[in-house]
Structure 1
Amino acid sequence: MATAHPTVSFELFPPRRPEFDEAVWQRVLRMADAGPDFFSVTYGASGSSREASAELVRRLLTQTAVPPIAHLTCVAATRQDLVTRVNRLMDAGVRDFLALRGDPPAGQGTWSAPPGGLTRSSELVALIREVENERLGAPRPGGGREATTEPPSVVALDLGVEPADVVSVSVAAYPSGGSHTRDAELRALREKQDAGADFAITQVFFDADAYASLVADARAGGVHIPILPGVIPLTDPARLHRLSTLTGVPVPPEVDAMLDTDDAERLRRGIAATLRLIDGVLAAGAPGLHLYTFNQDRPALDVLEHLRARGIRNPALTGRARAGRAQADRAGRPVPTN
């Protein structure tokens, strides 16, 4: 499934404390002004920070022209809780979601759904589609939109999803590490696709071959949705190791050795290594790049600047304007200009 261009997108998370809100927001605005195709906005650990996450999504909708993907997890929520959450986000203008099962809540060693909750991310995908159908009359399969005048998701259009629904639903994929086998991962990814997922975003990896292998195995297993590589700028060794403890994906010794230098040289080397990784996944046919920013704008913007110089088009000239128009149409407000 080909796209017209490689997309570039950024993941954000809500500030941990209110006193950080404005400083983080200024970084977000700098990233928005660079014209990414979309943001995704995560929850905190184990599905915490839901309200702060929703508030950041609403702020992106009203104060930027970059469409946000809202994360949802099954953690500590009944089915009705999730229906209510999806409806509230859609009321605010959200049309793009990332459906995750989520990690076990703090103190719970293994995953178990709460009473009346969902057990798998594929069930959450199906729930979002049910809410979409009830609100917009856009039945699946087939992506028909005869009963609604809403435009299709800009995110889905930019990623080349066919057909592009009004609401896009993305899911996670795992090239490396994790607690399950490749066969189990492929079965789960096919299950999420069959439930109505439009595309997948991968967990972190450090080798382009890991991404290429996942895509090849997925295609052989009947998974046809776009698989967007999730890349973390390789500039902060402490952050890489914290992420490793969360994901189970070890930091390669050669990355640690490369970053064992002074700050300025570490940034230079890290950006160069990130670009080599990006070259590898683009050569493998990646439809775009999703950068895990950790709310740090400089490494993400340095990477984006290099990509623009290499000819990856600036969506501020096309896709970003379309996103702003679609959001404004839904909410009945002027197109944001910042």
Structure 2
Amino acid sequence: MTSTTKLADQYRGEGCTISFELFPPKTDKGMQLMERNVERLTQFGPAFFTCTYGAGGSTQTKTLDVVQRVRQATDLPVASHLTCVGLTVDQLCDYLREAKQRGADYIVALRGDPPQGSTEFQAVAGGLRYANELVELIRSEFADEFGIAVAGYPEVHQEAIDAATDLTNLKRKVDAGADVVVTQLFYDNDDFYRFRDACDQAGIHVPIVPGILPVTNFRQAERIAGLCKARIPDQLAAAMNAVEDDAEQFEIGVEHARQQTIDLLENQVAGIHYYVLNKSDAAEKMLEGLSLGKV
């Protein structure tokens, strides 16, 4: 696939589109390691890569470095995350222009998290408050130059009053021009299926793409799941708590993610987005031998 493929088109046709999410490494050595892992991940035929950035936009420049390097190394489309945190509308437009120059094809449009120690998001003067406003900005100022993905929450966003309100907010983002919804990580597929059905009933008819993060270290998984209020099933928690060896925890967690993937494929998801934490070993073991990719 070439960089000209529209984001919505990635999820049309037979088969399951997969994509991988990266984050900007802090060191040159980390960047080199990430690039090697990207090379290994391409064996699974991803449609594109995405790259996030740190809290408050702290790694925006490095994010674009990753976008450019991955784009050059793979010739695959690459998406940059973009949040409303700490940026005026003019600064957001500046970032989008540079992202386009550096090779970004898609944008993952997010509101962003409140600052550490705060429970409430505060927009800067001249900035945006909601992700749907960011989608509207991209569509109004850049027309169809970028494909746009937005976030969905199978277990409800932690700031939402209830699931219905959360879906209403999601529909605003889709109605503003989002091409696809990529979900927050989850560990019980039933949570995703309920969410997908609810989206359909709410009139959200773009692809709903599940996001999967293999549990390779239980303490780390508990920390990450706690940040986004994702539930770790009792059976998985018990299995991982029963072993102390890191290698055994890795095997249990990766097998759980593999079974999640197989079940999602059987339930005909349009795509799966993998949070790989810049590593390829878990993904290689998880995806080995599975029939993935579009035909």
- Provide the TM-score with structure 1 as the length reference: 0.78
Match of 2:36 in 1: 26
Cα distance in 1 between the residues matched to 2:110 and 2:280: 25
Match of 1:60 in 2: 70
- Match runs of 1:120-139 below 5 Å: 120-133=130-143
1:72 is aligned to 2:51: no
Match of 1:178 in 2: 157
Cα distance in 2 between the residues matched to 1:284 and 1:184: 27
Cα distance in 2 between the residues matched to 1:178 and 1:238: 22
The 3 A distance-change label for structure 1 pair 295 and 208 is same
Consecutive unaligned residues of structure 1, counting only runs of 5 or more, are: 139-165, 319-338
Cα distance in 2 between the residues matched to 1:28 and 1:3: 25
Amino acid in structure 1 at the alignment position of 2:216: T
Q: Residue by residue, what CA displacement relative to the aligned partner does 1:141-181 show, whole Å, maximum 9, x if unpaired?
A: xxxxxxxxxxxxxxxxxxxxxxxxx5310000000153212
- Match runs of 1:78-89 below 5 Å: 78-89=88-99
Match of 1:286 in 2: 269
Asked whether the equivalents of residues 199 and 225 of structure 1 are also in contact (C-alpha less than 8 Å), the reply is: yes
Match of 2:6 in 1: none
1:94 Cα shift? 1.7
Runs of 4+ in 1 over 4 A off after TM superposition: none
Match of 1:217 among 198, 219, 241: 198
The 3 A distance-change label for structure 1 pair 220 and 177 is closer
- Match runs of 1:301-320 below 5 Å: 301-307=284-290, 311-313=291-293
State the Cα RMSD in Å.
1.9
Asked whether the equivalents of residues 10 and 291 of structure 1 are also in contact (C-alpha less than 8 Å), the reply is: yes
Amino acid in structure 2 at the alignment position of 1:236: N
SS at match of 1:23: helix
1:284 Cα shift? 3.3
For structure 1, which segment, 112-121 or 10-19, has the greater mean C-alpha deviation from structure 2 after superposition? 10-19
1:191 is aligned to 2:201: no
Q: Residue by residue, what CA displacement relative to the aligned partner does 1:227-250 show, whole Å, maximum 9, x if unpaired?
A: 100011133212211212210123
Asked whether the equivalents of residues 110 and 134 of structure 2 are also in contact (C-alpha less than 8 Å), the reply is: yes
The 3 A distance-change label for structure 1 pair 19 and 106 is farther
1:107 Cα shift? 4.2
SS at match of 2:76: coil
SS at match of 2:15: coil
Q: Residue by residue, what CA displacement relative to the aligned partner does 1:22-79 show, whole Å, maximum 9, x if unpaired?
A: 2222222222344311111011134321111111001111122222111000000000
SS at match of 1:109: coil
Asked whether the equivalents of residues 125 and 169 of structure 1 are also in contact (C-alpha less than 8 Å), the reply is: yes
Match of 2:219 in 1: 238
Asked whether the equivalents of residues 84 and 112 of structure 2 are also in contact (C-alpha less than 8 Å), the reply is: yes
Amino acid in structure 2 at the alignment position of 1:92: R
Match of 2:8 in 1: none
SS at match of 1:302: helix
1:225 Cα shift? 0.5
1:253 Cα shift? 2.9
Aligned residues: 281
1:205 Cα shift? 0.9
Percent identity between the two aligned chains: 33
Asked whether the equivalents of residues 177 and 249 of structure 1 are also in contact (C-alpha less than 8 Å), the reply is: no
Asked whether the equivalents of residues 47 and 102 of structure 1 are also in contact (C-alpha less than 8 Å), the reply is: no
Cα distance in 2 between the residues matched to 1:265 and 1:288: 29
- Match runs of 1:1-150 below 5 Å: 3-133=13-143
Cα distance in 2 between the residues matched to 1:285 and 1:19: 39
Cα distance in 2 between the residues matched to 1:227 and 1:112: 28
Amino acid in structure 2 at the alignment position of 1:210: D
Which structure features the higher share of strand residues?
2
Cα distance in 2 between the residues matched to 1:100 and 1:127: 12
Asked whether the equivalents of residues 154 and 195 of structure 2 are also in contact (C-alpha less than 8 Å), the reply is: yes
- Provide the TM-score with structure 2 as the length reference: 0.88
The 3 A distance-change label for structure 1 pair 204 and 88 is same
Amino acid in structure 1 at the alignment position of 2:149: S
Consecutive unaligned residues of structure 2, counting only runs of 5 or more, are: 1-10
1:210 Cα shift? 0.6
Cα distance in 2 between the residues matched to 1:52 and 1:33: 25
